[in-house]
A and B are shown apart, each in its own frame.
Chain A
Amino acid sequence: MPVKTELKYPIDSVVLAIAMVMLFLWNAMPGICFARDLSPVYEETFDIAAGGASLTRASRYGAALANPALLPFSGSFHRWLGSEFSLHINRESVDMAKAMLPGSSGSGSDSSDFVDHVFEAPFLAGTQTSLAYLNAYGGIGFFSKFEVDLEAQKYGPTGLPTIILNGKSYTGGTVSAAKRVPFLPLSLGLTAKYLMISEPTLAIDLADPNAAAQFQDPSALSGLVNPSRGIGYDMGALLFLQGPRVDWRWALKIDDVGGSSFSGGDSVEDFKQVVSTGASVTFHTGKDAIHIAVDRRDLQNTYGTPAFKSTRAGVKFLLRGYIGFAAGYYDGYPSYGAELDLIFLKLGAASYRRERTASPGLSPRDIYVMNLATGF
């Protein structure tokens, strides 16, 4: 996690302002706004720990999807070559696993015990993997994210006990290109992404024997995952004012420029174009840094995003280039985590609470994330 201290280019504030205003105006033109929600298809563990405020600083492959304009300011030509694996699981599921372990008070369990646990607390588990190469001018990457959320309601949507399954399967590849604007502390980046997305939702009324029997056949469950495919483009800009001890960054990001359409499969709703901005300040020495960032997502409120979801803020403490601590504010709740950088091996962990809907406090999930990255 190197920290740059050198100011490369002089600032021409007039030219800079014109560039930014042009970017805003282009975005504000009528007829190009299109949509869904703000759930990221890929998010790095350390960035989650820092509240998800990743527009002005993102880890590894996360930069390509958070803001491709970050790539030129990596401090060197090479940025990242490697793979990552992360496991996401909610706190209640960890407790459930402990209770069901042999020798514990809840051991000797069967599937009915699992259902009983689900009626007590939801079950969430997921994985995220990626393989990528990024440098200061762009890169290529592949990712896959899969998540299952199982919730049982004694009083379900129809009044009777119901098990609700929400799945998310995001797989894709990205190609990014980025470039500094000559003579300006400004970079622009573009990421083209091919996505295969499936978001199956299923509600099983437990009082209805026919509904329950319908899903005892494994093929009925596997048939739920039928991905839709589409191509989208993300565009970003980053203004980077660098000083000997303090850096300032301002980012503008347009997700799914012009909207991203999907076809086939379960007919996932199109991704709307979303404009976001972020600002940060970094206090640093040659080796250590404190990065404080705030993002405001969905400036045009395309998805009707409430403030607690569209506001992300966090702090990253980077010590000696080997250890990082992060804390932030994610979906209206505190988040925190740490990362250990052992040159070719990076271990990370984070804890955060995600609000599954746009209703604050209605359906939160306490999630632990463990991350293993190999590369350099």
Chain B
Amino acid sequence: MIPLMLVYLAASSCGTSNLGRCPASNPLVACTELTADEKIREALDDQDLASAQVLLEAAIADEPENYERYPLLAAVYAGLSGFNLLAIASSSASSGGGASIMDSMDAFLPTPEGLTRTEYRAKIDLLGQAISTIGALPAEFLATSATDKYASSASQQLGIYQAAQASMYMKMFTTNFSTGLPDPSQLSDLTDEDAAAILTVLADAAASGGAFAEAAASTLATINSGGGTDRDNLANFLST
């Protein structure tokens, strides 16, 4: 009897799935339901960002004061936008200096090649959602000098996402969406509203104190040195 039970246990798990998973795969072992945070962790580890987004949004709606989930949701939005978090982590220490924000960010951002403007704009909006998710944190959970790892990380993420969004925004007006190559003629689509939005995000990135703050500040200073309107200054900067 017992050997048959063991065979049954082993067969039902197929060697890969845990017998304790719900729904129960056999009546001999009670299953253990994963908590909301465990399901989120599983989705993140599987890099199933769509599921992670749904789970995190639901979990934050249920417990809005559980602030540890906010940076996770922001990271998911950034990941869905095509932003390469892993690459930026490995090189963030070497960024900064006098490089422009576009130079610093270029390797980590999704290329517009093959996308429509609407699709690329949707990716920029996802980064905007990442920024607003972090921005929803109370001040004490968003401090560059904080010793709390979540607060410190959230602050860093905010600066990174702001810099990334500014860079993607600018790329929209310097790149040919068909070829992926630089194309100054795209600047004709740049409006005053676009320019204002880009400079606002850039200023936020410069003020963030994060790893790309210096590059953002340097870029902003170069743009503003033009002496014209925001739109003209930005167009001049992007055309060079």
Contact = CB atoms under 8 A, between A and B. Distances in A.
Interface of A: 119, 153-155, 157-161, 203, 205-209, 212-213, 281, 292, 294, 306-309, 311, 313-315, 327-329, 331-334, 353, 355, 358-362, 364
B18 A332 contact: yes
Given A159-B71, A208-B152, A306-B32, A355 B6 contact: no
Contacts of B19: 308, 329, 332-333, 360
A77 to B, nearest CB: 32
Interface stretch (B34-42, B98-106, B185-193, B196-204): B34-42
B117 interface: no
Contacts of A206: 89-90
Contact of A160 (B13, B42, B157): B157
B44 A334 contact: no
Contacts of A161: 85-86, 89
Contacts of B76: 155
Contacts of A205: 149, 152-153
A313 B156 CA distance: 48
Nearest to B28: A311
Contacts of A313: 2, 5-6, 9
Which size class do B's interface residues fall under? 35 or more
Given A307-B30, A333-B13, A294 B2 contact: yes
20 contacts: A154-B44, A155-B44, A158-B154, A159-B154, A160-B153, A206-B89, A208-B153, A209-B92, A307-B30, A307-B31, A308-B19, A308-B29, A308-B31, A308-B32, A329-B19, A331-B18, A334-B9, A358-B32, A359-B35, A359-B38
B211 interface: yes
Contacts of B89: 160-161, 206-207
A207 B153 CA distance: 8
A66 to B, nearest CB: 19
B150 interface: yes
B221 to A, nearest CB: 24
Interface in B42-96: 42, 44-45, 47, 52, 68, 71-72, 74-76, 79, 85-86, 88-90, 92-93
A163 to B, nearest CB: 10
Contacts of B227: none
B134 to A, nearest CB: 9
Interface string B1-37: 0110110011001011111110000000111101100
Contact of B31 (A155, A360, A362): A360
B160 interface: yes
A311 B86 contact: no
Nearest to B210: A207
A356 to B, nearest CB: 12
B15 A207 contact: no
Nearest first, the 4 closest Cβ-Cβ pairs linking A and B are A308-B20, A159-B75, A158-B153, A360-B20
Contact of A332 (B29, B153, B154, B157): B29
B2 A292 contact: yes
B22 to A, nearest CB: 8
A334 B6 CA distance: 9
Contact of A308 (B16, B18, B157): B18
B211 A209 contact: yes
A360 B2 contact: no
A336 B16 CA distance: 14
A166 to B, nearest CB: 15
B59 to A, nearest CB: 14
Interface of B: 2-3, 5-6, 9-10, 13, 15-21, 29-32, 34-35, 38, 41-42, 44-45, 47, 52, 68, 71-72, 74-76, 79, 85-86, 88-90, 92-93, 149-150, 152-154, 156-157, 160, 211
B75 A155 contact: yes
Contacts of B10: 327, 329, 334
A155 B72 contact: yes
B142 to A, nearest CB: 12
Given A205-B149, A313-B6, A158 B34 contact: no
A358 B29 CA distance: 14
Given A158-B154, A160-B85, A309-B20, A209 B32 contact: no
Given A313-B9, A360-B18, A361-B17, 5 more contacts: A155-B72, A159-B154, A207-B88, A333-B19, A360-B34
Contacts of B86: 119, 154, 161
Contacts of B38: 359, 362
B57 to A, nearest CB: 15
Contact of B18 (A159, A160, A327, A364): A364
B150 A158 contact: yes
Contacts of B15: 333-334, 353
A157 B154 CA distance: 11
B44 A153 contact: yes
A206 B90 CA distance: 7
Nearest to A335: B10
Nearest to A328: B6
A88 B30 CA distance: 29
Given A332-B20, A359-B38, A292 B29 contact: no
Contacts of B44: 153-155
A374 B214 CA distance: 63
Contact of B32 (A154, A213, A294, A307): A307
A207 B92 contact: yes
B20 A155 contact: no
Contacts of A212: 93
